Amino acid sequence: MFIEPEVFLRLAEKAGTLLFVDIEATGLRGDYNSVLVVSGKPYGKPPMSYAVEQPGNVKRIVREAKEMMESADAWVTYYGKGFDVPMLNTRLLKWNLAPIMKRPHLDMYFTLKSNLLTARRSQSHLLAWLDTPEQKMTVGADVWNDVLHNFKPAIKTLTARCESDVDGLEALYRKTKHLVRELKK
């Protein structure tokens, strides 16, 4: 049975099972780097976040992120197919845990890349250009470095950033969902 993407997304929105997902990590590779924060935001609801208690101690939050994502009917990310999901799956593999079960996954980066002709493709640029009230929180290099020696304030800031990312992602989705033509796992 085939269902049009806009119909599926509307049903997932109404059911509260459309989940906006973002992570913050110490770097771009799951073998050498670590996840710091995972935020999920059900459509129209406040974000929920899982943060490490100390850098490198990530097993608990990737397990919790997996459970959160598997409880949703669909995910929305921004370059999540290229980073967030593979990073989580890499860390799950480290502890012999099964990868996250696939769901319909709307990656707004690829959707907007193929439908818009903007000078920049970052989520931050698109939110500013579309003049959404929700904007991506910028975090300076010092915060990323502080996570190793001044952990508590740094992780609080990174959690706020991750939550602002899923808030912004929902705003971007609301403004551009009419451009969605397909929805793949």
Relative orientation angle of helices 151-176 and 108-115, to the nearest 10 degrees: 40
In angstroms, rounded to a whole number, what is the distance separating the alpha carbons of residues 105 and 102?
8
The residue to which tokens 């100390």 are assigned: 54
Instruction: Give the pLDDT confidence score for residue 73 in this predicted structure.
Output: 97
Per-position DSSP letters for 4-61, written without gaps between them: -HHHHHHHHHHHT-EEEEEEEESSS-TTT--EEEEEEEETTS--EEEE-SSTT--HHH
CA distance 74 to 18: 5
Please name each of the domains of the chain with its CATH number.
5-107+117-179 (3.30.420.10)
* pLDDT tens per residue, range 30-64: 889 999 999 999 999 999 999 999 888 899 999 99
Predicted pLDDT of residue 1 = 61
The answer to whether 27 and 119 are in contact (CB under 8 A) is no
Query: Which of the four pLDDT bands, split at 50, 70 and 90, describes residue 160?
Result: very high
65-98 pLDDT, tens digit per residue, is: 999 999 999 999 999 999 999 999 999 999 999 9
Using a pLDDT cut of 90, give the percent of the chain over it. 84
Tens-place pLDDT, residues 141-153: 999 888 888 999 9
Cα within 13 Å of Cα(145), Cβ side: 3
